[in-house]
């Protein structure tokens, strides 16, 4: 279960959380709680609650208009050995991994477009996903061009959507930002569980406080979020509140649909793929085992 909190106060009562807002209270059990999602700046949460959730290994995602923050307890899991090897990866290995992440993203976006093209009986153009870049600068440019092509196909299924603009002020872009923030949180948790440093990136520039590896790794899983937003926006009108965040009903619809996709598969859930791919990345670094990307394919 994901708990979304907006314009409220979070307190602890035994093993439960108490959410208070507008003279109302809601008691939430932590037994099946997997993540607390804080939306905006008007949520009060005590250090007791943060410490309590940390002891249960429940991450807190703070979704802001300009930046997202994930609070998660680091795992002690061969951290020193794997991080030393990761920091010294040669450029060829770094580019190979970055290419695989991008390949997973673009192929997943194409699969989402084909899924909706079947429903709407619209034709989508094929995109050549063979990535030819041999250095990071060329790879950044090639990724941007491939993403642009993929978004052009996806726009066909959202008539009111003008295009992807991170932290844009329209409901669709805000919905994508929000869905991405959950993907980032799951990626952070998985990478730390594998002993990796979420702040040491491959393609995204390393900056203080910026989880660059999270942004690299999460590329493969973004089509899951994109599918969610397209599906919800086609059935319900998404709108923003006076502060520029999705209204409560929109947040709930996006979260519910994304959550259903993450757990939809019987044999291997998509949520489990975050941890599986983080472990595959660990094997690539420690034992030179080939890394293959996660490629999202919507179920009928």
Residues 199 and 244 grouped into a single domain: yes
What CATH number should be reported for the domain holding residue 95?
1.20.120.920
Residues 107 and 9 grouped into a single domain: no
- Asked whether 294 and 220 are in contact (CB, 8 A), the reply is yes
Concatenating the DSSP letter of every residue in 10-58 gives EEEETTEEEEEETTEEEEEESTT--EEEEESS--EE-HHHHHHHHHTT-
Residues 178 and 265 grouped into a single domain: yes
Extract the residue ranges of the chain whose pLDDT is less than 50: 76-77
- Tell me how far apart the alpha carbons of residues 69 and 130 are, in angstroms, rounded to a whole number: 34
For residue 290, give Cα distances in angstroms to 159, 253, 277, 286. 40, 38, 12, 11
Residues 36 and 130 grouped into a single domain: no
What is the model's pLDDT at position 22? 82
Q: Rounded to 5 degrees, what are φ and ψ at 24?
A: -120, 150
In a domain, 200, yes or no: yes
For residue 135, give Cα distances in angstroms to 139, 215, 278. 6, 19, 24
What CATH number should be reported for the domain holding residue 25?
3.100.10.20
What is the model's pLDDT at position 96? 94
In a domain, 232, yes or no: yes
Residues 39 and 106 grouped into a single domain: no
Classify residue 288 as left (phi > 0), alpha (psi -120 to 50) or beta.
left
In a domain, 189, yes or no: yes
What pTM, to 2 d.p., does this model score? 0.87
Tally DSSP H helices, then E strands, for the chain: 9, 8
Q: Which residues pair with 3 in a beta bridge?
A: 36
What is the model's pLDDT at position 257? 94
What is the model's pLDDT at position 277? 96
Full domain range(s) for residue 170: 79-287
């Amino acid at each position: 279960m994901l708990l979304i909190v907006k314009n409220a106060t979070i307190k602890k009562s035994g093993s439960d959380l108490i959410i208070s807002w507008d003279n109302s209270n809601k008691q939430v059990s932590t037994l099946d709680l997997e993540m607390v999602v804080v939306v905006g700046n008007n949520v009060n949460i005590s250090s007791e609650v943060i410490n309590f959730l940390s002891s249960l290994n429940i991450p807190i995602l703070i979704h802001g208009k300009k930046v997202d923050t994930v609070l998660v307890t680091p795992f002690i899991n061969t951290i020193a050995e794997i991080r030393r090897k990761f920091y010294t990866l040669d450029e060829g290995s770094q580019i190979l991994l970055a290419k695989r992440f991008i390949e997973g993203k673009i192929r997943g976006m194409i699969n989402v477009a084909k899924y909706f093209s079947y429903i709407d009986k619209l034709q989508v153009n094929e995109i050549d996903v063979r990535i030819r870049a041999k250095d990071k600068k060329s790879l950044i440019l090639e990724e941007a061009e491939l993403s642009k092509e993929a978004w052009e196909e996806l726009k066909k299924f959202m008539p009111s959507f003008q295009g992807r603009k991170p932290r844009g002020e329209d409901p669709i872009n805000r919905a994508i930002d929000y869905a991405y923030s959950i993907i980032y949180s799951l990626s952070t948790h998985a990478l730390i569980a594998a002993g990796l440093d979420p702040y040491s990136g491959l393609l995204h520039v390393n900056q203080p406080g910026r989880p660059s590896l999270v942004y690299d790794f999460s590329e493969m899983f973004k089509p899951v979020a994109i599918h969610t937003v397209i599906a919800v926006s086609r059935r319900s009108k998404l709108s923003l509140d006076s502060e520029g965040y999705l209204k409560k009903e929109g947040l709930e619809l996006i979260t519910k649909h994304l959550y259903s996709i993450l757990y939809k598969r019987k044999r291997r859930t998509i949520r489990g793929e975050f941890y599986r791919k983080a472990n595959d990345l660990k094997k690539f670094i420690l034992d030179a085992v080939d890394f293959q990307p996660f490629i999202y394919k919507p179920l009928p």
